[in-house]
């Protein structure tokens, strides 16, 4: 047998061996996948069962209250009530690691495909990538708005900027719905905020060039520039929170403590808040300017009042939600403080 054939046969033998090993590990993988999907449906159905039994349990507890109870019984009931209160949060956290049906929006955009990420690392990585995506797009928007404000004054270039804004906000709504499916606590308002912003940018896109458009153009571009810069600061705050929380979750022997995280978060937040509130009042000012414009006798464009309404909705939602977020954080800070401080 020629030596080249012997070498080829030897190589083929080793290739075959490796092929069988690959087949075996793939078979094992499929078997495990099957086991995982069975476990997933078991967990989902037992969570659903627990939920309905907890509902029944709450009804039972209500009935107990009406009867005469000893002090000991009241204590036991209170303990059970505390447990019942905590359970929905635990189930929410459990469900973040189980596949579930998409909501209406994700179903319309993506179809019925599972978007649940099954490990903590992949959830963090997705969130991290989402924050980075926002940062890169924000930098592009800053450059674009800067160019439009100072150098280029063509309606079609403004239209490109507005189109970019529409695309950016639409993408955010999809990404945020995926994040929420994966257990993120993003408040519904921020998602709704992006729908309103997409609508606003869409209306700006259709606003025909003219005296009124030119009148509002610079104010809008300056606001866009400011908002994008605030978003950059927000990025550093939010990705800082993400990294610190991840470190807190990953390390058992922590040199980063919960208090360390809290004080860092408050420093970041107190720096950020004045800029955020200034941005909110700028939105109010934009809304009021547009309403004043809409009352002019030569104002025929419907876009003026539509943009005005959108800015007012954005102002109210942003302002109220930010105040609510800060209040909740202050409350939890006070609760976390040891008594007497």
DSSP 275-295: HHHHHHHHHHHHHHHHHHHHT
Query: What mask, x for binding ligand COA by CB under 6 A, covers residues 72 to 111?
Result: ----------------------------------------
What's the CA gap between 220 and 289, in Å, rounded?
Answer: 11
What's the CA gap between 112 and 105, in Å, rounded?
Answer: 11
CB of 180 to ligand COA, least distance (A): 8
What the block records as the tokens of 298 is: 């030569």
- Could you give the C-alpha distances from 323 to 96, 265, 269, 287, 311, in angstroms and in order? 28, 16, 12, 20, 18
Q: How far apart are the first and last CA of the chain?
A: 90
* Contact flag: residue 276 with ligand COA (CB under 6 A): yes
Per DSSP, the three-state class of 163 is: helix
Q: Which is nearer to ligand COA, 169 or 212 (CB)?
A: 169
What the block records as the tokens of 271 is: 């720096």
* Contact flag: residue 63 with ligand COA (CB under 6 A): no
What the block records as the tokens of 125 is: 């990585």
Span from 149-157, 250-258, 272-280, 330-338 in contact with ligand COA (CB under 6 A): 272-280
CB of 114 to ligand COA, least distance (A): 19
Q: What residues from 281 to 320 belong to the interface with ligand COA (CB under 6 A)?
A: 318
Tell me how many residues contact ligand COA (CB under 6 A).
18
Q: Which is nearer to ligand COA, 212 or 290 (CB)?
A: 290
Span from 43-51, 63-71, 226-234, 247-255 in contact with ligand COA (CB under 6 A): 226-234
* Contact flag: residue 195 with ligand COA (CB under 6 A): no
* Contact flag: residue 116 with ligand COA (CB under 6 A): no
Backbone φ, ψ for residue 331 (5° rounding) = -60, -45
CB of 150 to ligand COA, least distance (A): 21
* Contact flag: residue 230 with ligand COA (CB under 6 A): yes
What's the CA gap between 24 and 43, in Å, rounded?
Answer: 28
Per DSSP, the three-state class of 180 is: helix
* Contact flag: residue 279 with ligand COA (CB under 6 A): yes
Interface ranges with ligand COA (CB under 6 A): 127, 179, 184-186, 190, 227, 230, 234, 237-238, 241, 272, 276, 279, 318, 322, 325
């Amino acid at each position: 047998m020629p030596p080249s054939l012997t070498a080829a046969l030897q190589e083929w033998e080793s290739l075959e061996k490796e092929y069988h090993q690959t087949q075996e590990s793939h078979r094992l993988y499929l078997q495990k996948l099957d086991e995982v999907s069975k476990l997933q449906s078991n967990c989902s159905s037992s969570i659903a069962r627990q939920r309905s039994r907890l509902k029944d349990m709450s009804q039972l507890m209500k009935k107990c209250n009406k009867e005469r109870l000893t002090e000991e019984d009241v204590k036991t009931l209170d303990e059970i009530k505390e447990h019942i209160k905590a359970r929905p949060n635990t189930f929410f956290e459990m469900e973040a690691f189980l596949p579930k049906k998409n909501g209406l929006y994700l179903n319309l955009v993506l179809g019925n495909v599972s978007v649940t990420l099954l490990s903590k690392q992949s959830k963090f990585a997705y969130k991290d990538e989402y924050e980075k995506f926002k940062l890169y797009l924000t930098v592009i928007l800053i450059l674009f708005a800067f160019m439009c404000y100072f150098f280029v004054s063509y309606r079609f270039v403004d239209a490109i900027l507005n189109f970019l804004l529409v695309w950016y906000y639409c993408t955010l709504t999809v990404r945020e719905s995926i994040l929420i499916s994966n257990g993120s606590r993003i408040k519904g308002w921020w998602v709704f905020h992006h729908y309103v912003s997409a609508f606003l940018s869409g209306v700006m896109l259709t606003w025909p060039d003219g005296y009124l458009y030119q009148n509002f153009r610079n104010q809008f571009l300056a606001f866009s520039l400011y908002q994008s810069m605030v978003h950059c600061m927000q990025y550093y705050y939010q990705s800082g929170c993400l990294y610190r929380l991840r470190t807190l979750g990953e390390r058992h022997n922590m040199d980063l403590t919960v208090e360390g995280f809290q004080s860092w978060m408050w420093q970041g937040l107190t720096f950020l808040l004045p800029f955020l509130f200034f941005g909110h009042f700028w939105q109010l000012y934009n809304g009021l300017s547009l309403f004043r414009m809409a009352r002019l006798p030569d104002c025929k464009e419907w876009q003026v009042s539509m943009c005005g309404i959108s800015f007012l909705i954005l102002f109210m939602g942003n302002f109220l939600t930010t105040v609510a977020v800060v209040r909740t954080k202050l409350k939890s800070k006070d609760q976390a403080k040891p008594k007497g401080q």
